[in-house]
Chains A and B, each alone.
Chain A
Amino acid sequence: MSVSEKQTVEILKVLYRGAQILILDEPTAVLTPQETEKLFAILRKMKEQGCAIIIITHKLHEVLEISDRVTILRKGKSIDTIETAQADEKLLTELMVGQAVSLEIERPLIEDRTPILKVVDLTVTRPDGSRASDDISFEIRRGEILGVAGVAGSGQKELCEAIAGLMKIDKGAILYEKENIIGKTPAEIIQLGISMSFVPEDRLGMGLVASMGMVENMLLKTYRNGRGPFVDRRPARELAEKLVTELDIVTPGVNTPVRLMSGGNVQKVLLGREIESKPNLLITAYPVRGLDIHSSYTIYDLLNEQKKRNVAVIFIGEDLDVLLELSDVIMVLSHGKITGFLDARKATKEQVGLYMTGAADKEVGA
């Protein structure tokens, strides 16, 4: 069953039990824009039949489209409840952040772009036997942000892990500066300058150790440095302190467990560390998930800065608006296959959505 089908079952299940109130928590994360439309149609019908629906989402346009009233939460407090008819994106953002913010994402154009990583016919199987990547081929250049679109679970995670050497590869090649890196250990791949800051469903699940402080987390990839059996914590401490000042990280101290820090600060710690390792290729997945808008823009700025330094960036995102504004090229995944490459400067959201379902070719053909 596909994720969207599972979700339909889930909704049917509560309706069958005779629910009068339906609470949906980020229901569209796993849906294409087209599927989202279908869901919204169902919700509207339920509303007509007298159901009350609460929908939790971070996508402002969805709020404006579906809701009658909107409650804005900030740091666990209810800020305001307003009629949707009187709201717009700008107002909602201001209420969420508490101050006015610009919603423009910068997109510098780097002229000289040399290829750095080439993936050829990559096929990866998940432990449960399903195909996570099916004959994937693409190329990424320095000074370029490659956006990866697709509903959640289309093989993004496995693609990242395959490049980082964490997954067994069935078939294909990954050429990093013309050298095949398949078969190398994750440690060797890190040495090459490939950096992955993967933010899975649980932000602290991979990339950071939740119960450790910043210093210990800085060590994660560099603890092997230096000879002898002992860990040298001095450089890590210096790096942690440097990040705190440079990125305005708010934390009681560099030894405070990162799980006690806010989402935005955790993200800065993670990305900051990866950037400090001076990578040539930076893979980042859902880096702004769960962050407030202000922090999100800080992250976009950080990524752009890397791009300007001639780093190749793979950006796996879920918000199509952001993908379209930030990336140079958008690669669309559907069920582990690449369904299309789009020029992010020209493509529209509907086009991307069509590719996300994997139906684009058929529709074009028809």
Chain B
Amino acid sequence: MSQNHYNDREPVIRVVKRAELPDRQITLLRLLALILALAAGGLFILCVGYNPFVIYGTILSGALRSPMAIQATVKIIIPLLITSLGVTLAFKMRFWNIGAEGQIIMGAVFASYFALFHANWNHWVLILVMAAAGMIGGGLWGLLPAWFKANYGTNETLFTLMLNYKALHIVSWLQDGPWRDPGSQGFAKIARFDKNASLDKVLGVHFGWIIALILIVIVYVYLRYTKQGYEISVVGESQETARYAGMNVKKVLLRTMLLSGAVCGLCGMIQATGSDITLTTGVTGGVGFTAIIVAWLSQLNPVTILIVSVLFGILEKGSSVIQSSFGLSTDCADVLQGIILFFVLGCEFFIRYRLVARKKKDGGKERNKGGER
């Protein structure tokens, strides 16, 4: 093998793991990714024939232009925020809970039972019972895949995914049959909840936002400072190590998924009783999936989750405004969210790895493309 031949075969760019980057540089890199994503989104908007600056401007002003708009934006943020916190618990343990949708629905179903059939209870007792029911509903729906994972190693990604649709069809069955509103003609739906069974408003928005803010603190403290939180991160990192340290991995798995599902279930209760004031198949609004993006974008950090949720909330509310003013579909928000995550996912690579260009040896061949720094 001649020396020259060897050089020809050496790749132009090689990937190597890098040592930890300083936090500031990581943040900078992520911001850069976000800006690039917005630029790419702008390019997309330009392609459809609109001025990206105008569109972005409208999104921002549309979401925040008036107290009413802000209230609507907050209403979008609440479920996103709570669900993201819920899946974060599971993701921290590297348990791929793709089932937030189903857990939200089951929480809403459990809570709705009391809203529909015990609406005459004392208001605060009813609210508390509904919240507990929602948490139990979501928790049990989360416990199921965890139990199978713990005992048989059943793949949780696919199992939780299947559970979403089962929950969805449970609701469509309820509204078709047992819980169908007799007052609705022809169209199958569940009756609107009694006012006594709906969440009170604080500053114009149902008080789910207060619960969401409290949950941020709870989840943050739980993951960061408690023994159980420590167990979650060790189990997530290596189950072998967790066993070695004397942790009961099964127990941690079940407990964490119960909690993760419970938080999502609580979100379902809040959506049904605070936002929709009834139970529909659309109770989640796809939040269970978007929350996964939010949690991942936020590096599973509860405080960052708040920021990203607000960003996504603005994007979504703003998109409904550009629909009314420019006739562009609200799906614009999904597209932009997708682009942002694609870019941030891509940028993670540059945080963890470094590109090394081939050393200059035989002049002409050198192409130092793409190598950062």
Contacts and interface: CB of A to CB of B under 8 A. Distances in A.
Are A and B direct contacts in the complex by CB distance below 8 Å?
yes
Interface of A: 164-166, 185-190, 196, 198, 200, 204-212, 216, 219-221, 223-224, 229-231, 256-257, 260
6 contacts: A186-B243, A205-B241, A206-B240, A212-B233, A216-B233, A229-B226
A257 B20 CA distance: 9
Given A166-B243, A209-B241, A211-B237, A260 B20 contact: yes
A174 to B, nearest CB: 16
Interface string B243-263: 111111000000000000000
B19 A190 contact: no
A212 B234 CA distance: 9
A196 B227 contact: no
Which of A186, A221, A256 has the most C-beta atoms of chain B within 10 angstroms of its own C-beta?
A: A186
Interface of B: 19-20, 225-231, 233-234, 237-238, 240-241, 243-248
A223 B230 CA distance: 8
Nearest to B245: A220
B368 to A, nearest CB: 22
B246 A186 contact: yes
A275 B229 CA distance: 26
7 closest A-B pairs by CB: A187-B246, A186-B246, A220-B245, A206-B240, A209-B237, A229-B226, A206-B244
Nearest to A219: B230
Contacts of A212: 233-234, 237
Contacts of B19: 260
Dominant SS at the B interface? helix
A200 B228 CA distance: 26
Contacts of A187: 246-247
A257 B233 CA distance: 14
Given A200-B240, A206-B244, A219-B230, 7 more contacts: A186-B243, A187-B247, A205-B241, A206-B241, A212-B233, A223-B231, A229-B226
B256 to A, nearest CB: 15
A231 B241 contact: no
A164 B244 contact: yes
A224 B244 contact: no
A231 B225 contact: yes
B239 to A, nearest CB: 10
B139 to A, nearest CB: 19
A185 B238 contact: no
A237 to B, nearest CB: 14
A157 B342 CA distance: 42
A83 B131 CA distance: 77
B20 A223 contact: no
Dominant SS at the A interface? loop
Contact of B245 (A204, A210, A221): A221
B241 A207 contact: yes
Contacts of B228: 229
B152 to A, nearest CB: 13
B238 A209 contact: yes
Nearest to B221: A230
Contact of B226 (A165, A166, A231): A231
Given A219-B230, A223-B230, A224-B227, A198 B244 contact: yes
A256 B244 contact: no
A215 to B, nearest CB: 11
A216 B245 CA distance: 12
B248 to A, nearest CB: 8
Which of A208, A209, A221 has the most C-beta atoms of chain B within 10 angstroms of its own C-beta?
A: A209
A210 B237 contact: yes
Nearest to B222: A229
Contacts of A207: 241, 244
A362 to B, nearest CB: 37
Which of B226, B233, B238 has the most C-beta atoms of chain A within 10 angstroms of its own C-beta?
A: B238
A281 to B, nearest CB: 15
A220 B230 CA distance: 9
A206 B242 CA distance: 8
Nearest to A252: B20
B238 A205 contact: yes
Contacts of B245: 186, 190, 220-221, 223
Contacts of B227: 223-224, 229-231
A198 B238 CA distance: 14
B246 A221 contact: yes
A155 B203 CA distance: 66
B179 to A, nearest CB: 39
B243 to A, nearest CB: 6
Which of A165, A190, A220 has the most C-beta atoms of chain B within 10 angstroms of its own C-beta?
A: A220
A216 B244 CA distance: 15
A257 B352 CA distance: 13
Contacts of A189: 246
Contacts of A223: 227, 230-231, 245
Contacts of A229: 226-228
B181 to A, nearest CB: 45
A124 B245 CA distance: 21
A221 B240 CA distance: 13
Contacts of B225: 230-231
Nearest to B248: A185
A229 B19 CA distance: 34
A198 B237 CA distance: 17
Nearest to B224: A231
B244 A186 contact: yes
Given A205-B238, A260-B19, A260-B20, A230 B226 contact: yes
